[in-house]
């Protein structure tokens, strides 16, 4: 049976750590974590979050292995709705990253993330 997007989101978020933008920003200010935007490049360019590295979900596994070799470094993933970020977090866990979180909020909160670091 095919799954709806809400069902897929429910399944994907069962095995990932969810954090708010404020929590992510506070943690990143202490742990030097990476903020990764898994949206497509055009989406990122139209509405980037300060400090986020854009790696579209379709190439995430390949690019992350080039960008970050430490499987324990904190990684915070975001997208427009958290669905792609949750699916991406599952993929990163499969290849060995052990400290991956999904910023589970709307994009306007992600845009404010840098304000929480001050």
pLDDT of residue 115: 53
Cα within 13 Å of Cα(37), Cβ side: 22
pLDDT of residue 50: 83
Q: Is residue 34 part of a domain?
A: yes
Q: Is residue 2 part of a domain?
A: no
Annotate 56-108 with three-state secondary structure. CHHHHHHHHHHHCCCCCCCEEEECCCCHHHHHHHHHHHHHCCCCEEEECCCHH
pLDDT of residue 3: 84
Q: Is residue 66 part of a domain?
A: yes
The tokens for 20 are 């708010």
What's the structural domain count of the chain? 1
Cα within 13 Å of Cα(29), Cβ side: 11
Provide the CATH number for the domain around residue 52.
3.40.250.10
pLDDT of residue 117: 45
Decide: pTM greater than 0.85.
yes
> Helix, strand, or coil here: 51?
coil
Spans of the chain, pLDDT less than 50: 116-118
Q: Is residue 65 part of a domain?
A: yes
Q: Is residue 4 part of a domain?
A: no
pLDDT of residue 118: 42
30 is in which domain, residue-wise? 14-116
């Amino acid at each position: 049976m095919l799954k709806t997007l809400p069902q897929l989101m429910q399944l994907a978020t069962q095995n990932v750590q969810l954090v708010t933008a404020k929590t992510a920003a506070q943690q990143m200010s202490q742990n030097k974590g990476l903020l990764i935007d898994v949206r497509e490049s055009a989406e990122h360019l139209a509405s980037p979050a300060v400090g986020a590295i854009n790696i579209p979900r379709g190439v995430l596994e390949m690019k992350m292995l080039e960008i970050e070799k430490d499987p324990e470094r904190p990684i915070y993933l975001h997208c427009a709705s958290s669905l792609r970020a949750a699916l991406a977090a599952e993929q990163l866990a499969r290849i060995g990253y052990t400290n991956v979180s999904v910023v589970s909020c709307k994009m306007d909160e992600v845009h404010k993330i840098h304000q929480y670091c001050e």
